[in-house]
Amino acid sequence: MSTPETRPGTSQPPSGPLAGRRVRAAIIGTGAIGRGSHLPALNRLAEEGETEVVAAVDIDAIAVEEFCEQTGIPHAYTDLDRMLEEQRPDLVSICTPPTLHRAQTIAALRAGAWVWCEKPPVPTLADYDAVEAEEGTESGPYASIVFQHRFGSGSRHVRRLLAERAMGRPLVAHCQTTWYRDTAYYAVPWRGRWATEGGGPAMGHGIHQMDLLLDLLGPWSEVRAMAGRLVHDVETEDVSTALVRFENGALATVVNSVLSPEEVSRIRIDCERATVELTHLYGHSNANWRIVPAPDVPGDEAAAWQDFGADVPSSHLEQLRELVASMRKGERPRSSGADGRTSLELIAALYKSAFTDSTVRAGEIGPGDPFYTAMHGNVPGWAPVAAEEVSA
């Protein structure tokens, strides 16, 4: 397959708004998440006349050539800046390790492209704020984080019921990401390290369920947490637990683990008039949700709560569909800006609470706080050990 280096005159997108044309997209990173989740979503919207994938970028020249050859993407690059200059994409889909997200997202935003970035968004709150500072002030471009569990018919229906207080006030919640990862999983050099993975299961695994919990219940106000390394020889934690108070008064327990042979992802919210529960693993449909009314709830009202409508499973596709609609309207998409930051702030607070044995309140981690620039907060026993300390 030919690369841009051998092709004269690469095409430019039409000038003006997106109305009346496809959104030109590029994929950064050709590994499993790009191939298995982002590209299928982009291709589905291409079938609907919404998008076209014009380029892919990877540091491995052979890998990106093969990726483009196999998928029909016309332009392969190993240089992100050159791709941005030559192809001028409207949307950049970032599927690389977390430590690369800040620089790649900023480069795309400065080139005028909207961004759809895999979770975790960036390793620290300082990185997130640096990205947000590069967004457009009106009509974009904006950077949206992949939190696909927010999207789909089930979460949309329950979010509406909670917002309308149809089931009464939310009172008690449980958020559980109990998965299993063996020693072979952590044999991959970048895993379990602060510098390359950004955190342990709270950051890399449980972030999806915590983000969905926040999307359903709204802002949190304080957190009290514990974390441990119980099995794996890693820098980060391999399990954490937390108690979270929400601004609406609800209290929640949060558990994130990679030590659990029976894997499950679960959210349960007990309201005054009903319990709503989601049980799944890596994605949910209507069938994964259950609403149990209190004994005094009229039957017709309880039946209405059970009507989730047409089944639209949570997926990258559903989030991308909404993102493209936001692009066409020039509106800030969900999972961007302050809305995209909320789960990252909760994780930073969870780590700070666990590592300093303190209660952490929303908004207290900012410039000058060690947890603003590093999720380990430079706390001895959790911060990475310098090479000279090891040799000594």
Q: Hey, which residues does 77 pair with through a beta bridge?
A: 57
Rounded to the nearest 5°, which phi and psi values hold at 235?
A: -75, -40
10 class by beta-carbon count within 10 Å (0-12 exposed, 13-18 middle, 19+ buried): middle
Burial pattern 236-262, b for ≥16 Cβ within 10 A else e, equals: bbbbbbbebbbeeebebebbbbbebee
How far is 212 from 177, CA to CA, in rounded Å?
A: 12
Q: 13 Cβ partners below 8 Å, 6+ apart? A: 21, 24, 88, 89, 90
How far is 33 from 386, CA to CA, in rounded Å?
A: 32
DSSP designation for 384: P
How far is 39 from 49, CA to CA, in rounded Å?
A: 15
Give the angle subtended at the CA of 267 by the CAs of 121 and 359, to the nearest 5°.
Answer: 65
Contact 250, 170 (CB under 8 A): yes
How far is 161 from 157, CA to CA, in rounded Å?
A: 6
Helix (H, G, I), strand (E, B), or coil: what is residue 260? strand
Q: How far is CA 383 from CA 12, 68, 377, in A?
A: 46, 40, 7
DSSP per-residue string spanning 78-146:
S-HHHHHHHH--SEEEE-S-GGGHHHHHHHHHHTT-EEEEPSS--SSHHHHHHHHTTS-SSS---EEE-
Residue in 115, 183, 181, 172 with CA at minimum distance from that of residue 336: 115
Q: What is the pLDDT along the chain (392 residues), one digit of tens a residue?
A: 434 433 333 444 444 469 899 999 999 999 999 999 999 999 999 999 999 999 999 999 999 999 999 999 999 999 999 999 999 999 999 999 999 999 999 999 999 999 999 999 999 999 999 999 999 988 999 999 999 999 999 999 999 999 999 999 999 999 999 999 999 999 988 899 999 889 999 999 999 999 999 999 999 999 999 999 999 999 999 999 999 999 999 999 999 999 999 999 999 999 999 999 999 999 999 999 999 999 999 999 999 999 999 999 999 999 999 999 999 999 999 999 999 999 999 999 999 999 999 999 999 999 999 999 999 999 999 999 864 454 44
Given this model, what pLDDT does residue 10 score?
Answer: 41
The residue type found at 270 is D
Q: Hey, which residues does 217 pair with through a beta bridge?
A: none
Given this model, what pLDDT does residue 4 score?
Answer: 40
How far is 126 from 217, CA to CA, in rounded Å?
A: 25
Q: How far is CA 149 from the centre of its chain?
A: 9
How far is 93 from 87, CA to CA, in rounded Å?
A: 14
Q: Angle between the 125-132 and 101-110 helix axes, to the nearest 10 degrees? A: 10
Given this model, what pLDDT does residue 279 score?
Answer: 98
Per-residue pLDDT of 310-367, as tens digits, reads 999 999 999 999 999 999 999 999 999 999 999 999 999 999 999 999 999 999 999 9
Per-residue pLDDT of 19-77, as tens digits, reads 899 999 999 999 999 999 999 999 999 999 999 999 999 999 999 999 999 999 999 99
Q: How far is CA 366 from the centre of its chain?
A: 21
How far is 83 from 25, CA to CA, in rounded Å?
A: 11
Given this model, what pLDDT does residue 263 score?
Answer: 98
Burial pattern 298-336, b for ≥16 Cβ within 10 A else e, equals: eeeebeebeebeeebbbbbbbbbbbbbebbeeeebbbbb
How far is 147 from 156, CA to CA, in rounded Å?
A: 14
| pTM listed for this prediction | 0.92
CB atoms within 10 A of CB 226: 15
Given this model, what pLDDT does residue 365 score?
Answer: 98
DSSP designation for 1: -
Place of tokens 């000279």: 388
Residue 171, by phi and psi: left (phi above 0), alpha (psi -120 to 50) or beta? alpha
